[in-house]
Structures are given as C-alpha cells and as structure tokens.
Amino acid sequence: MENYFTSQRDNIFRNVAVLIYVFDVESRELDRDLHYYQSCLEAMLHNSPDSKVFCLIHKIDLVHENQRDV
C-alpha cells in the first residue's frame, strides 16, 4: 500500500470526486491506519482539492454505545 502514496500518488488521487475511507474498529494497527488516512487526505488536498471525503467506521456496533463518542 505504501507504493500508492509514493510512485502512484498523483495518478490515483487526481480528479477524484469522492473518497470513502473505512476504518475497522477491530484493527490492531491504529497508528498505521491513521497514517494511511492522513496520507490519503494530503493526496486528496493536493490532487483533488474540491473532492468530498467520507469516513466510515466498520463494525461500530461492536463498540458499546457509551464509548462511541470518545
């Protein structure tokens, strides 16, 4: 995946209308996930500044309701 944020970054993120990024609440690599998300946002800002970004949380139903706002 790191290749996408180096050599292919401009090709992949150019003229994008919508980015839908999905986090998995069961992921054990939050730092890596946040790094990739940040890289996507930076690429979108540079190559498609008028695009819309939607961030989804997969498996949010596994998180107790009291902890969802944290």
Among the listed residues 46, 70, 47, the one whose alpha carbon sits nearest the alpha carbon of residue 57? 70
The reply to whether 70 falls in a domain is no
Does 59 map to a domain?
A: yes
Number of domains the chain contains: 1
Reported as a single tens digit per residue, the pLDDT across 10-57 is: 888 999 999 999 998 888 898 999 999 999 999 999 999 999 999 998
Give the domain extent around 9: 2-64
Segment (H or E) for 47: helix 30-47
- Tell me the whole-structure pTM to 2 decimals: 0.76
Task: Please indicate whether residue 70 or residue 62 has the higher confidence score (pLDDT).
Answer: 62
Q: Is residue 69 part of a domain?
A: no
CA 62 to chain centre: 20
Q: Which pLDDT score is estimated for 1?
A: 66
User: 70 pLDDT exceeds 60?
Assistant: no
Rounded distance between C-alpha atoms, residue 55 and residue 62, angstroms: 17
In a domain, 11, yes or no: yes
